[in-house]
Amino acid sequence: MNISPEVQFDLHRRMVRIRLFEEAAGRLAEAAKLPGFLHLYVGEEAVAAGVCAALNDDDHITSTHRGHGHLVAKGGDLNRMMAELMGKSTGYCKGKGGSMHISDLSLGMLGANGIVGAGSPIAVGAAFANRYRKKGQVAVAFFGDGATNIGAFHEAANMACALHLPIVFACENNEYGEFTPRDQTMAITDIVDRAAGYGMPGVIVDGMDAIAVHEATLEAVERARAGGGPSLIEAKTYRFYNHHGVQNLGLKYRSDDEVARWKERDPIFTLEDRMIENKVATRQQFDDIWADWRAAIDRAIQFAEESPLPTPDQVLVDVYTTGGAR
Amino acid sequence: MSTVGIIVNPNAGKDIRRLVTPATHTSDVTKVGIVRRAIVAATESGAERILLAPDRHRLAERAADGLDAPIQIVDEPITGSRYDTIAAARRFWKEQVGAIVALGGDGTSRDVALGWPDSPLVAVSTGTNNVFPSAIDGTSAGAAAGFVATGAVALDEVGRRSKRILVRIDDADSSVDDVALVDLAFVDTDFIGARAVRDPHTVSRVVAAIATPTSTGLSSIAGRLHPVDRHAPGGVLVEMGAGERSIRVPLAPGSFTTMSIADVRSLADGEEIVFTGRTILAFDGERDRTVGDDGRVAIRIDSGGPILIDVDRTLQLAAERRLFDPPTKTSDHGDVHGH
């Protein structure tokens, strides 16, 4: 298939939004303006953009501790996201959840998740519900390579396949579980080798190439919508910053050369180069896109900074349900 | 010293086509098993040295682990790309390897051909469209490679030179030479993307050196219109588009589609054809090179490809020559197990 210029620009804009949001968040964290942990998605933008551009607004995703990119790509409100990172009452979780608990049910984003591997069973639940709704919705579970070593992933993949659910497992294999190289925690190299064990197809795509990710996701989503069941996409990708925060905290678990090699394949700049080469876009158009979204991020920061902190009487509000099952 | 070289492509058999077709997924464990069987069999056939190409998945190390065989993993930089296969083939040439066992699809054999054009090759299919390599177990592949490497069966007796499609791409800034072993396709997409050619509507032209009715992939188009055996000289050019004929083809394993054919014609051995203008070139089924508006693509088919070893014939000759008999009637030649 050929990806239309409109979709190419869409993929590009989603990635630029993620990049700018994350770099702004990184700067704010370094300036001690963001409380809590911050796991930046910079470098992996092609995965969230390529996947989410293949989804409808009412399709579901579950995310990870590195979840900003997924919500931004699904259309998340930058103001509410930035406010949440700053712990402000206008944030997605009223300032009480922080980076790893943002969700937006109106966009089908069922939540970031601080527990590695915990998103996949939730996506299976959504897929199970979607099958009964019969509206053709699919669910996508984002997770990392390390999450596939967790029991919850195994249970989710097994149940999804046993029930033949409309779900796509989207693995962001960035080669490190926190600070540990993948080969020290598993005896296989390709996560996709696990797929056959559950009874689903699995494919590898270049996770630094939004077009490649998008092509694969279109196929996987179409397959799921048509009743073809689960599939697994393994996107080989890389995070440009540390496991959390911006600095490496003095931990040299990745060589500078390795980081530099991956940065040469920056997913945004390689897409821009190719679109210009194809005469689909001009440098000026890209400059304008970057400028527009920089302004949007600046507005989000201003919105967050001007928003109030939650008041002490809100500490126990939204913690326990009072209405029973709904 | 009689030497067998083994190359395993860790990336083969795992691409996007598994989402849209029932193409085989070939896991790393499967590949390691094939390599282990090939090592044991090559040693059993008398190879004095087994060279393994290194790879990013460390399949070579895993295959060698615990085996009592004269194994050496060659010291080459690992990139995680097809250049690992190209570099390994070149290294095997320098090491005077007597026979290579290469695991992968058509693209892997192509990379071997780029690294060592006249390599003596046993090509084992672990890829998607396996027109060039054969579905053969590692045990037989390793045994045949071992007999050829020792000279117990001469390469002249069982090897036949393959064809190749030579491609020269010129534009204002550069000139590049490349090779395909099975087919070269012109694909009208803006991106290399997920590499595999899946959408029949994007294919405008196919040049095939091997096109049999049993082929899958792009060469199956020519294979169903104008078959060309792997050993017959020349090839075939198919132009897609509105014409008198359309044909059902398996563009990927287990997946049939209709292709409209505008023109088909034979290509003689060495005949050059030239095309100009923007396109993406797919080599042996994978989009790989972009050609700009000012690009010029010159193509010809010759017989300068790898020397493909006929495994059946090799082992038949080995049997006739009693090469499977233990060295002496009294020797205690114990059982060998590759696990």
> For the segment A168-186, what is each residue's pLDDT rounded down to a tens digit?
999 999 999 988 999 999 9
Q: Does A4 touch chain B (CB under 8 A)?
A: no
Q: Does residue A326 lie within any of the structural domains?
A: no
Q: Does residue B13 lie within any of the structural domains?
A: yes
pLDDT at A287: 98
Q: Which two tokens stand for residue B248?
A: 């059902």
Rounded to whole angstroms, how far apart are CA atoms A49 and A117?
21
Do residues B90 and B49 share a domain? yes
Q: Determine the structural domain holding residue B12 and report its residue range.
A: 3-162+306-320
Do residues B196 and B270 share a domain? yes
Which DSSP category does A315 fall into?
A: T
pLDDT one-digit tens code per residue, A8-63? 999 999 999 999 999 999 999 989 999 888 999 999 999 999 999 999 999 999 99
Q: Do residues B90 and B115 make contact, with C-beta atoms less than 8 angstroms apart? A: yes
CA distance B323 to chain A (A): 38
Q: Say which residues have a Cβ less than 8 Å from residue B173's Cβ, sequence separation at least 6.
A: none
Decide: residue A184, CB within 10 A, 0-12 exposed, 13-18 middle, 19+ buried: exposed
Q: Determine the structural domain holding residue A32 and report its residue range.
A: 5-307
Number of structural domains found in chain A: 1
Q: Does residue B40 lie within any of the structural domains?
A: yes
pLDDT at B199: 86
Q: Does residue A302 lie within any of the structural domains?
A: yes
Q: Does residue A71 lie within any of the structural domains?
A: yes
Do residues B227 and B135 share a domain? no
Which candidate from B18, B57, B193 shows the least CB-CB separation from A189? B57
pLDDT one-digit tens code per residue, A94-111? 999 999 999 999 999 999
Q: Does residue A317 lie within any of the structural domains?
A: no
Instruction: Give the CATH number for residue B197.
Output: 2.60.200.30
pLDDT one-digit tens code per residue, B195-246? 888 888 999 999 999 999 888 899 999 999 999 999 999 999 999 998 889 9
Beta pairing partners, B161: B307
Task: Write out chain B residues lying below 8 Å of A226, CB-based.
Answer: none
Q: Is the pLDDT of residue B335 over 80?
A: no
Return the residue of A nearest to B21 by Cα. A201
Phi/psi at A305 (nearest 5 deg)?
Answer: -65, -35
Q: Is the pLDDT of residue A71 over 70?
A: yes
Helix, strand, coil % over all residues of chain A, rounded to 5: 50, 10, 40
Do residues B153 and B123 share a domain? yes
Question: What is the mean predicted confidence (pLDDT) over B28-44?
Answer: 97
Do residues B138 and B252 share a domain? no
Number of structural domains found in chain B: 2
Q: Do residues A91 and A81 make contact, with C-beta atoms less than 8 angstroms apart? A: yes
Do residues B205 and B100 share a domain? no
Do residues B121 and B59 share a domain? yes
Return the residue of B nearest to A194 by Cα. B27
CA distance A47 to chain B (A): 13
Do residues B256 and B316 share a domain? no
Question: Which residue, A70, A100, A65, is CA-closest to A84?
Answer: A100
Residue B263's alpha-carbon distances to B165, B217, B225, in angstroms, are 20, 19, 10
Q: Sheet of B273-276: strands edge to edge?
A: B175-180, B164-170, B296-302, B273-276
Do residues B191 and B270 share a domain? yes
Do residues B82 and B177 share a domain? no
Q: Does residue A151 lie within any of the structural domains?
A: yes
| pTM of the entire predicted model | 0.91
Q: Is the pLDDT of residue B332 over 60?
A: no
CA distance B15 to chain A (A): 5
Q: Chain A interface, mutation test: which of B8, B21, B29, B190, most A Cβ atoms within 10 Å?
A: B190
CB contact under 8 A, A203 and B17: yes
Confidence of residue A249 (pLDDT cuts 50, 70, 90): low
Do residues B36 and B153 share a domain? yes
Do residues B229 and B262 share a domain? yes
Instruction: Give the CATH number for residue A45.
Output: 3.40.50.970
Instruction: Give the CATH number for residue B56.
Output: 3.40.50
